[in-house]
Structure 1
């Protein structure tokens, strides 16, 4: 598994603020993550937070870094385990299962990290690319990897939002998606087979 890029450095107090922000986010959602609510949780006055973060967006960026780092670590570990298992496991299925697990385990951090424009200039250099690399390594082609991530993201959001009809077998839906992408991956690896179906 490749090593994650270094996250933006935080002082001990700033790290404490980010930890409190994460608990607030996970418990109550993004709308509840305000400077005032965060200060109340820490038992300080709201202006004191600005000694450590320039604005709320800076706190959110620190949370996004952690979300990307944790997601990337889970995906790299899943891919590594799949490739080194005997017999080798399907890497696309392994990456999808890991992505689903982490998205469902931390729904509000997932939403914060994946919805709306990503403030790339506030994030550790290389973090976004590193976190997404397992999709490329599993798919073997950049556009197929992007489509694979789009499928995974859409599935997680729809599952979090409860948008699937009652009784849907989502394990099977994820599995069918993995099989479809794996079949497409084989056609990309072996040009000329696509016309054969």
Structure 2
């Protein structure tokens, strides 16, 4: 039973990654697996459940990428390494990235602890400050979307822009005074 669910999610992900979100339908997943569409409903009740499973895969993949960047960092700021890993994951998996980050996150369907695992490397890099972590994520998300949408002029030094952004967040913060 678990094997069939994994096959369904893998087929859905292949459709998503190769053909985009429009290609992910119960009928197309079933066709890819060589089964009848009603058989899918024994494992996942609807397309929303398929998308939730894909969001979990996207979040797990991003967590793995960030953990690897954190573990493999030899020198340089941790935030820059995490930003580079985030960007690379999004650019390598644009449809999965968008499904995971551009829609409401199906938190109830996520494996326990997955969301916390995905944010943990960033929280460590910013000294546990959740507000700064959210601001960094918003910066990274915006940069990725602009890049995926081709909104930067040709020849733009995006690596330099990423470095400038992560460097700005790494500047010591002082409380505002009146």
TM-score range, shorter chain: over 0.9
Q: Distance in 2 between matches of 1:20 and 1:94?
A: 31
Aligned counterpart in structure 1 of residue 133 of structure 2, from 132, 145, 148: 145
Aligned counterpart in structure 1 of residue 37 of structure 2, from 46, 49, 55: 46
What SS is found at the alignment partner of 1:164? coil
1:80 shift after superposition = 2.5
On the 8 A contact 2:16/2:96 being kept in 1, the answer is: yes
What SS is found at the alignment partner of 1:130? helix
Once the two structures are superposed, what CA deviation does each residue of 1:44-73 show, in whole Å capped at 9, x if it has no partner? 221111011111111111111111111111
- 1:55-70 paired onto structure 2 within 5 Å: 55-70=46-61
Q: Does 1:158 align with 2:149?
A: no
Q: Distance in 1 between matches of 2:33 and 2:148?
A: 29
1:136 alignment counterpart: 123
* TM-score under structure 2 length normalisation: 0.93
2:24 alignment counterpart: 33
What SS is found at the alignment partner of 2:70? helix
On the 8 A contact 2:58/2:100 being kept in 1, the answer is: yes
- 1:67-146 paired onto structure 2 within 5 Å: 67-82=58-73, 85=74, 88-140=75-127, 141-146=129-134
Structure 2 spans left out of the alignment, 5+ residues: none
* TM-score under structure 1 length normalisation: 0.84
1:37 shift after superposition = 1.4
What SS is found at the alignment partner of 2:44? coil
1:4 alignment counterpart: none
Q: Distance in 2 between matches of 1:40 and 1:181?
A: 47
Q: Distance in 2 between matches of 1:152 and 1:45?
A: 41
RMSD, aligned α-carbons: 1.6
Structure 1 spans left out of the alignment, 5+ residues: 1-9
- Extract structure 1 runs of 4+ deviating beyond 3 A: none
Once the two structures are superposed, what CA deviation does each residue of 1:79-133 show, in whole Å capped at 9, x if it has no partner? 2222xx2xx4201101100100111011111111111111101111111111011
